[in-house]
Amino acid sequence: TRVAPRITVIGTGYLGATHAAAMAELGFEVLGLDVVPEKVELLSRGRVPMYEPGLEELLRRHAAGVEGSTGRLRFTTSWREVADFGDVHFVCVNTPQRHGEYACDMSYVDAAIDSLAPLLERPALVVGKSTVPVGSAARLADRLRELAPAGPGVELAWNPEFLREGFAVEDTLHPDRVVIGVEPGGRAEELLRRVYATPIAEGSPFVVTDRPTAELVKTAANAFLATKISFINAMAEVCEAADGDVVRLAEAIGHDDRIGAKFLRAGIGFGGGCLPKDIRAFMARAGELGVDQALTFLREVDSVNMRRRAHMVELTRQAVGGSILGTRIGVLGAAFKPDSDDVRDSPALNIAGQLHLQGAQVTVHDPKATENARRLFPTLTYAGSAEEAVRGADVVLHLTEWREYRELDPAALGEAVAHRRMLDGRNTLDPEVWRKAGWTYRALGRPTV
Ligand code: UDX
């Protein structure tokens, strides 16, 4: 039998940490690299530096620094070790939005290639997983060949990742599809088939294509998802003007298989480390390619999305009688979505911040994201419980749909607030229950009474 390829994972954020742990779970020997020594130290001891359900358990089963683990998973800061160890190197570093621009910042990917390449003395496969502008793979492949002592023995493939935060482990172990982009004639396809010829791809479609298509699959998928959300939010605007109910509308159109019920939840819109920056980077890249017209609709997708935040601020102003200044506002939720402690481009935190700037006294609660939120917005007040956040509030805003908020008792909460006014920015609370308990309940895109 052939020896299983040895795997390295470069970058240990949501994507890298999960991918590394999943590969170890599938039986591979894995070495993860991060340039931050503290992260390496934590991960080695089986600790995950962010909130991601199930990831810590998976990590602890395999991390070499955990007693009783399989020891298949190790972490390092050494490029030399990574280059010597790996047959397949997965690049999982961040590609954030460039400051003040639409384009994405490729510096972490470029740095990873530049650090690894000069050390590759034997044939290896480098696999990009980060979300990048189309055309990056070809450019990076040239760079690899130029810098690597093994020259043409070093190949580059693209293998986009579709994991959702909060479901990272599930999405990695049971992906909807595996997509790989390869150059014809190389060993990449065969090697990647071996890596994924495990329970991971069992029952999942395996799509083999060229590298630009593989890069595009990821951006196209995220652009489609963002468009779907902004579509239903645009419908919410119309519903509000016409006294319609966007929740029933979404339910009804969702019954059509061609439309599908998922990703039609109207509310304060999308945020996070992916969708917003990915559609912007996609527009920037289309511009470079001379086809910016093809994606001008994404500009609208972005503006509908940003309007949601402004609209929520406006509804809050109306709810408190015309002026935000000096009011007390209780905010439920800071993370960009539930089951995550991520506050990157979080609509919830953005709205809380805007209200604070307009002179409200804003108190925020989130079950997991408080620490990250405090780092980003230290001037807001943070509470240890929902009850504490709404104490004395003139209005309560429900901005991240954590399960525990659905289970709140409106009657009990009503005792704590100054005024029973609820603005539901996620359309997941039951209007009737809240109204029955004496609250003025208002939601985006739904009739007022
Ligand atoms: C997304 C993609 O789903 C994933 O495939 C890709 O790999 C990375 O980007 P993620 O950012 O983790 O994943 O979150 P997702 O669940 O897609 O939600 C994104 C945002 O859209 C959240 O702010 C969420 O609240 C919002 N959203 C989602 C809506 O407002 N309405 C919906 O119907 C669905």
Q: How far apart are CA 77 and CA 37, in angstroms?
A: 6
Count Cα atoms within 13 angstroms, Cβ side, for 152.
3
Average pLDDT, the chain: 96
Q: How far apart are CA 18 and CA 51, in angstroms?
A: 12
pLDDT at 345 over 60: yes
Residue 402 beta carbon below 6 angstroms from any ligand 1 atom: no
**Can you read off the two tokens belonging to residue 208?**
């083999």
Respond yes or no on whether ipTM tops 0.95. Answer: yes
pLDDT at 86 over 70: yes
DSSP tally for the chain: helices H, then strands E: 18, 14
At 117-151, the pLDDT tens digits run 999 999 999 999 999 999 999 999 999 999 999 99
- 262, exposed or middle or buried, with CB in 10 Å at 0-12, 13-18, 19+? exposed
Pocket probe for ligand 1: among 215, 270, 349, the residue whose CB has the most ligand atoms within 8 Å is: 270
- Would you state the pLDDT for residue 203? 79
Euclidean distance between the first and the last CA atom of the chain, given in angstroms as a whole number: 69
Residue 139 beta carbon below 6 angstroms from any ligand 1 atom: no
User: What stretches of 243-333 show up as alpha helix (H) in DSSP?
Assistant: 246-254, 275-288, 296-319
- Give the angle subtended at the CA of 145 by the CAs of 139 and 151, to the nearest 5°: 165
- Alpha-carbon distance values, 385 to 314, 336, 382 (Å): 26, 18, 9
């429900």: which residue's tokens? 398
Pocket probe for ligand 1: among 259, 336, 337, the residue whose CB has the most ligand atoms within 8 Å is: 337
Residue 30 pairs in a beta bridge with 7, 73
- Would you state the pLDDT for residue 240? 96
Residue 270 beta carbon below 6 angstroms from any ligand 1 atom: yes
Q: Which residues contact 278 (CB under 8 A, 6 or more apart)?
A: 104, 131, 218, 219, 222, 223, 226
User: What domains does the chain contain, in order, with CATH numbers?
Assistant: 7-209 (3.40.50.720), 245-449 (3.40.50.720)
Q: How far apart are CA 119 and CA 111, in angstroms?
A: 13
């189309």: which residue's tokens? 134
pLDDT at 1 over 60: no
- Alpha-carbon distance values, 392 to 66, 320, 330, 331, 422 (Å): 47, 13, 8, 12, 13
Q: How far apart are CA 162 and CA 118, in angstroms?
A: 30
- Would you state the pLDDT for residue 449? 76
At 191-226, the pLDDT tens digits run 999 999 877 767 789 999 999 999 999 999 999 999
| Residues identified as active-site | 274
